[in-house]
Chain A
Amino acid sequence: MKLVGLLVMLALAVVGVDALADLTQNRPDAVVDGTTTVVAFDVGTRDYNGTDIEAANALWAVCAATVSGTTTAPQEAAAGGFEVTISPAIGNNGHKRLVGCLEDGTLDRVQGHVASVTSMD
């Protein structure tokens, strides 16, 4: 009985580690020329020594390194927040890395909130 329990635990551990590896895997995405991705995000600051656009620029300067391609500087969007354009478009792995960086505690006193990530042909 104890052996069965041990085997079940071992199997669960293997499955869990494999699932976690799949979920956190990182690999290059397929590049499709002529496509773009628009990322809309906002920043929240607390006692930050600067304006929101400065905070957005600082955050983007750090997180732009998680994706490949050409990126623009954050521009204030009409609906509020900021937008950046990445070309060519990022894939699923790039999407995870970018959103994770923007919404993580990457910068002190600056918190990013991703509103949307839209890829276009």
Chain B
Amino acid sequence: MSTRALRTLLGGVTLAASGAYTFIYLYRWEWNRALMSAAIFVAAEVAVMGSLLAQRLKVVTERLDKMESPTPAQTVRLERIRSSAPPPRPTFAWLARPEQMNVFVPVLMGAGVLLSGIAWVVERLARATVTPVAERGLAAQLDGLALPAHGFATAERAPLDLLRGPVASRP
């Protein structure tokens, strides 16, 4: 007897017996036994359903695998394409050979010299242009703090004289 048949038989017998005894115990007014029998029935039902679903999933999976597997003609063509494909070329051929790794040093040195030159030019240009402009702007902003051209004490009294100097300096 196969495992599948044994499993089905066991599940069926358990379901039938536990279901029948649930009603028998109900008839006998033995509630605890009826509850236990019903619990066994539910457990057996879940097990049987799980087994059936697993079986169906296995069939579906096998069918999908069969659908996705290439046909013999496709397999032959794939083999020919793969066998006749050119060998892959390295993207940087000079890096593929370790004995030519010293090329890196001059390249890095050249790039460093070039970048240093560009930085020097930028620095010189900034020094020549930014500083004078910034100084002129600062001088213009300090205009508001400049002393009055004719001093704080004048012969003619202005309305704001009271705020500009001490009261004792009045004539």
Q: Judging by beta carbons under 8 Å apart, are B26 and A104 in contact?
A: no
Q: Judging by beta carbons under 8 Å apart, are A106 and B26 in contact?
A: no
Mask, B9-43, CB within 8 Å of A = 1, is 00000000000000101111111110010000000
Please report the C-alpha to C-alpha distance between residue A87 and residue B7 in the assembled complex, in whole angstroms. 53
Chain A residues with CB under 8 Å of B27's CB are 20, 23-24
Q: Judging by beta carbons under 8 Å apart, are A99 and B29 in contact?
A: yes
A103 within 8 A of B: yes
Please report the C-alpha to C-alpha distance between residue A99 and residue B31 in the assembled complex, in whole angstroms. 12
Q: Judging by beta carbons under 8 Å apart, are B23 and A101 in contact?
A: no
- Output the least CB separation between B31 and chain A (Å): 6
Q: Judging by beta carbons under 8 Å apart, are B32 and A24 in contact?
A: no
Please report the C-alpha to C-alpha distance between residue A104 and residue B32 in the assembled complex, in whole angstroms. 6
Please report the C-alpha to C-alpha distance between residue A104 and residue B27 in the assembled complex, in whole angstroms. 12
Q: Judging by beta carbons under 8 Å apart, are A103 and B28 in contact?
A: yes
Mask, B87-107, CB within 8 Å of A = 1, is 000000000000000000000
Instruction: Determine the main DSSP class of B at the interface with A.
Output: helix
Chain B residues with CB under 8 Å of A105's CB are 30, 32-33, 36
A81 within 8 A of B: no
- Of the listed residues B23, B29, B30, B33, the one surrounded by the most CB atoms of chain A closer than 10 A to its CB is B29
Q: Judging by beta carbons under 8 Å apart, are A97 and B29 in contact?
A: yes
> Which one of B23, B28, B36 contacts A100 once the chains associate, using CB atoms below 8 Å?
B28
A113 within 8 A of B: no
Q: Judging by beta carbons under 8 Å apart, are B31 and A24 in contact?
A: no
Please report the C-alpha to C-alpha distance between residue A20 and residue B28 in the assembled complex, in whole angstroms. 11
Please report the C-alpha to C-alpha distance between residue A73 and residue B153 in the assembled complex, in whole angstroms. 127
Q: Which residue of A lies closest to B31 (CB)?
A: A104
Q: Judging by beta carbons under 8 Å apart, are B30 and A104 in contact?
A: yes
Q: Judging by beta carbons under 8 Å apart, are A101 and B29 in contact?
A: yes
Q: Judging by beta carbons under 8 Å apart, are A96 and B29 in contact?
A: yes
Within 8 A of A (CB), among B129-171: none
- Output the least CB separation between A94 and chain B (Å): 10
Q: A99-B28, A104-B33 are known; give 8 further A-B pairs, CB within 8 A.
A: A23-B27, A96-B28, A96-B29, A100-B30, A100-B31, A104-B32, A105-B36, A106-B32
A-B contacts, 17 of them at CB < 8 A, read A23-B27, A24-B26, A24-B29, A96-B29, A99-B28, A100-B28, A100-B30, A100-B31, A103-B28, A103-B30, A104-B25, A104-B30, A104-B31, A104-B32, A105-B30, A105-B33, A105-B36
Chain B positions within 8 Å of A, measured between CB atoms, are 23, 25-33, 36
Interface pairs A-B: 3 shortest CB-CB: A100-B29, A104-B30, A105-B32
